[in-house]
Chain A
Amino acid sequence: MIKKIIVILAMIGLIMMLFPLVTNFEFLENLNDLSTNYVSGSVNELNSQNVVTSVIVTYRGLDTLGEVTVLFLATAAIGFLLKKKKTKKRGSSELLQTASSFLVALIILLGVYIFTHGHLTPGGGFQGGVIIATAFLLLILSDVNIKFNHTILQVVESFSGAFYVVIGLIGLVLTIGFLNAKIIPLGEYGNLFSAGAIPIIYSLIGLKVGSELTNILDTMRGE
Chain B
Amino acid sequence: MIFALILGFALLLIGIYGMLSQKNLIKIVIGFSIVDTGVHIIIVSIGYLRNRTAPILNSVVDLGKAAQQVVDPIPSVLVLTAIVIGLAVTALMLTFVVELYKKRNSLSIDDYQELKW
Encoded as 1 (CB less than 8 Å from any A CB) or 0, chain B from 75 to 111 comes to: 0110011011101110110111011000000000000
Q: A31-B67, A35-B72 are in contact. Are A11 and B9 (CB under 8 A)?
A: no
Q: How many residues on the A side are at the interface (Cβ–Cβ under 8 A)?
A: 54
Contact partners of A75 in chain B: CB under 8 A: 88
Q: Does B24 contact A (CB under 8 A)?
A: no
**Which one of B17, B21, B56, B72 lies within 8 Å of A122 (CB-CB)?**
B56
Q: Does A51 contact B (CB under 8 A)?
A: yes
Q: A18-B9, A18-B13, A39-B55 are in contact. Are A71 and B88 (CB under 8 A)?
A: yes
Contact partners of A31 in chain B: CB under 8 A: 49, 67, 70, 72
CB <8 Å contact, B57 and A51: yes
Q: Does A183 contact B (CB under 8 A)?
A: no
Contact partners of A27 in chain B: CB under 8 A: 2, 48-50
CB <8 Å contact, B9 and A51: no
CB <8 Å contact, B9 and A22: yes
A99 to B99, CA, bound (A): 34
- Dominant SS at the B interface? helix
Q: A21-B9, A43-B66, A49-B56 are in contact. Are A82 and B95 (CB under 8 A)?
A: yes
CB <8 Å contact, A52 and B80: yes
Q: How many residues on the B side are at the interface (Cβ–Cβ under 8 A)?
A: 43
Contact partners of B113 in chain A: CB under 8 A: none
- Residue on A with the closest CB to B77? A55
**Which one of A22, A43, A121, A130 lies within 8 Å of B6 (CB-CB)?**
A22
- Since A35-B67, A67-B84 are in contact, a sample of 6 more A-B pairs with Cβ atoms closer than 8 Å, ordered by chain A residue number, is A50-B56, A73-B88, A78-B95, A81-B98, A122-B56, A209-B84
Can you list 12 contacts pairing A with B, beta carbon distance less than 8 Å?
A22-B6, A27-B50, A31-B72, A32-B72, A35-B73, A43-B66, A52-B56, A52-B73, A70-B84, A74-B92, A78-B91, A122-B56
Residues of B within 8 A of A (CB): 2, 5-6, 9, 12-13, 16-17, 20-21, 48-50, 54-58, 63, 66-68, 70, 72-74, 76-77, 80-81, 83-85, 87-89, 91-92, 94-96, 98-99
Residues of A within 8 A of B (CB): 4, 7, 10-11, 14-15, 18, 21-22, 25, 27-32, 34-36, 38-40, 42-43, 49-52, 55-56, 60, 63-64, 67, 70-71, 73-75, 77-78, 81-82, 120-122, 124, 126, 130, 190, 209, 216, 220, 223
